[in-house]
Structure formats: structure tokens, C-alpha cells
């Protein structure tokens, strides 16, 4: 922990969100440390990012042993967390899990799922910035911007087609979808909705802690993105049009 504290920046390079050795982070990085079936290996070796995505996120390529390896190590990691925190409910956050909904439900049929969707245009710009900032820091290979731009288009399309298909397997009271925009505008209202829809208890205990966290983030300023050119917007609308429709976003942006 001391080494990580010295090495890690105070904020994440891509979005200025607080970072640190004792703060929450995607479990995908832990999986990258204990297994070879983690999407983060695609960040370390970006020339292989398609392979990492297809085999470890959507599981559309590779044999069944790859999926079994992921399940085994993911379950092992969660059991360690559960033991460490004496059986408390675990709250996990990883964008890659959007493509693993069915696999997660097979592992944990009593789990609850929260999906926060966002305007696809902003998602594209956010991912573009992520790779611009992260790959030079942690990547052992160099790839072109055009290579990563195509991967963004491919990954979102594949992941959300799978998500929209797989969510039909999840009972309605086990999954809730909210928009990023509503969460940012009225976070406590969104949290109330999540707890009520999923039938979770403990909200009264959590509210003072959540209010304190929100107060500490009051001055946070999100990234401001440049507008996409007309050609790129048209390509996004063409390939991601199904997601605009599914989540109620206008393609006239």
C-alpha cells in the first residue's frame, strides 16, 4: 500500500476523479493481477485489445475454458473480499461487466444490477480521452489513434448488443437502469430509486454517508469535450443507433 500511495496520482489522468491506494477502483485491475482473463491486459498490450475484449468481456471467441477460468478467478476474488469485510454486500463497478450480465447472473442469481447509461456521443468522447491518457502511461505497445477509435466503435456495439439481449434473463426486480444525466442532476433521488426498485435495505444508514460524499465532490468539474465532426457523428449514429433507441437518446445531436 505504501508503494502504491507513492506511485499513484491524486486524481485519475482521464477525468480528474479522486484516486489513491485506499480508494475504490474497478475490480478488473485485481483480476488482471490474479488471472490472464482480464480486459486490462488489453490496456497493457493494446495490439491485443480486440482479443482481450472478445475473450474476456463478451466471451464470443475462445473456448469454454476461458469463460470458466474467468468465473473461477472472479468468484475467488469476491470470496476474499467477502471474507475481508465479514460478509457485507459487495458493491462492484466495472464497465466491462456490462458485457458479462448473463455470466454474472449465472454465478450470483441473487445479485442486483445497476446500469447507468449515458448519451452515446459522450461515451465515445470519454473513451477516446481515456485511451489518449492511459495508454501512454501503462501500455507496453503503441497503436494509432485510428486503431483505438475503431475499437471504441466495435466494443460499444458488441457489448451493448449482448447487454440488451442478456438482460432478458434477469428478473425485473434484480436490475435497474438509470441515466447518467439524471444521476448527476439529482443523485440522492436516483439512489432512492435504485434502493426502492431493487428492494435493498439500509438506505437510512447510507444516506448520511452519501450526503457527506456528495458534499466532498461538490466542486468536481467533469471534462468538457470538443464537438465531433459530422462524419464521425454519422458513423456513431449508424453503428450505435440501436443503443440511442434503447435508452431514449436522440440521434439528432
For 184, residues 6+ apart whose C-beta sits below 8 A from its C-beta are 222
CA angle 159, 164, 166 (to 5 degrees): 90
- The helix/strand/coil state of 187 is helix
Q: Which residues is 46 bridged to in the sheet?
A: none
**C-alpha 36 chain-centroid distance:** 19
User: How far, in Å, are 72, 93, 119 from residue 193 at the CA level?
Assistant: 33, 18, 20
> What pLDDT, in 10s, does the model give residues 148-168?
999 999 999 999 999 999 999
Distance, CA of 117 to CA of 126 (rounded, Å): 13
> What pLDDT, in 10s, does the model give residues 72-84?
999 999 999 999 9
91, 179 Cβ separation under 8 angstroms = no
Distance, CA of 17 to CA of 94 (rounded, Å): 15
pLDDT score recorded for residue 252: 64
Distance, CA of 185 to CA of 53 (rounded, Å): 32
The torsion angles phi and psi of 179, rounded to 5 degrees, stand at: -90, 145
Q: Specify the higher pLDDT residue, 212 or 113.
A: 113
Predicted confidence band at 253 (pLDDT cuts at 50, 70, 90)? very low
Average pLDDT, stretch 160-180?
97
Which ranges of 86-186 would DSSP assign to H, the alpha helix? Answer: 101-107, 120-138, 145-166, 180-185
156, 120 Cβ separation under 8 angstroms = yes
Point out the least confidently predicted range of 20-24, 45-49, 77-81, 97-101.
20-24
**C-alpha 121 chain-centroid distance:** 16
Distance, CA of 157 to CA of 155 (rounded, Å): 5
- The helix/strand/coil state of 191 is helix
Distance, CA of 122 to CA of 224 (rounded, Å): 10
CA angle 172, 178, 184 (to 5 degrees): 160
Average pLDDT, stretch 182-188?
93
- Other CB atoms within 10 Å distance of the CB of residue 145: 11
> What pLDDT, in 10s, does the model give residues 121-149?
999 999 999 999 999 989 999 999 999 99
User: How far, in Å, are 67, 75, 130, 145 from residue 52 at the CA level?
Assistant: 12, 19, 17, 18
Cell of 163: 447487454
Mean pLDDT of the chain: 92
pLDDT score recorded for residue 222: 73
Amino acid at each position: 500500500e505504501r508503494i502504491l500511495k507513492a506511485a499513484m496520482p491524486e486524481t485519475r489522468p482521464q477525468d480528474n476523479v479522486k484516486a489513491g491506494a485506499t480508494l475504490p477502483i474497478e475490480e478488473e485491475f485485481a483480476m488482471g493481477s490474479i488471472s490472464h482473463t482480464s480486459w486490462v491486459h488489453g490496456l497493457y498490450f493494446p495490439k491485443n485489445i480486440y482479443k482481450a475484449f472478445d475473450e474476456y468481456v463478451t466471451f464470443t471467441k475462445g473456448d469454454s475454458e476461458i469463460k470458466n477460468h474467468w468465473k473461477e478467478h472472479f468468484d475467488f476474488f469476491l470470496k476474499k473480499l467477502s471474507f475481508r469485510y465479514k460478509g457485507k454486500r459487495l458493491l462492484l463497478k466495472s464497465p466491462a461487466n456490462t458485457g458479462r450480465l448473463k455470466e454474472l447472473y449465472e454465478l450470483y442469481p441473487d445479485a442486483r444490477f445497476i446500469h447507468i447509461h449515458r448519451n452515446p456521443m459522450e461515451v465515445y468522447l470519454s473513451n477516446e480521452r481515456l485511451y489518449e491518457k492511459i495508454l501512454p502511461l501503462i501500455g507496453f505497445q503503441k497503436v494509432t489513434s485510428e486503431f483505438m477509435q475503431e475499437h471504441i466503435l466495435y466494443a460499444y456495439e458488441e457489448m451493448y448488443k449482448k447487454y440488451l439481449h442478456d438482460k432478458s434473463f434477469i428478473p425485473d426486480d434484480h436490475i435497474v437502469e438509470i441515466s447518467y444525466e439524471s444521476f448527476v442532476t439529482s443523485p440522492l433521488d436516483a439512489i432512492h430509486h435504485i434502493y426502492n426498485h431493487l428492494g435493498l435495505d439500509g438506505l437510512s444508514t447510507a444516506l448520511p454517508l452519501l450526503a457527506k460524499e456528495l458534499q466532498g465532490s461538490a466542486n468536481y468539474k467533469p471534462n468538457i469535450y470538443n464537438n465531433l465532426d459530422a462524419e464521425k457523428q454519422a458513423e456513431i449514429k449508424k453503428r450505435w443507433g440501436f443503443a440511442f433507441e434503447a435508452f431514449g437518446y436522440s440521434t439528432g445531436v
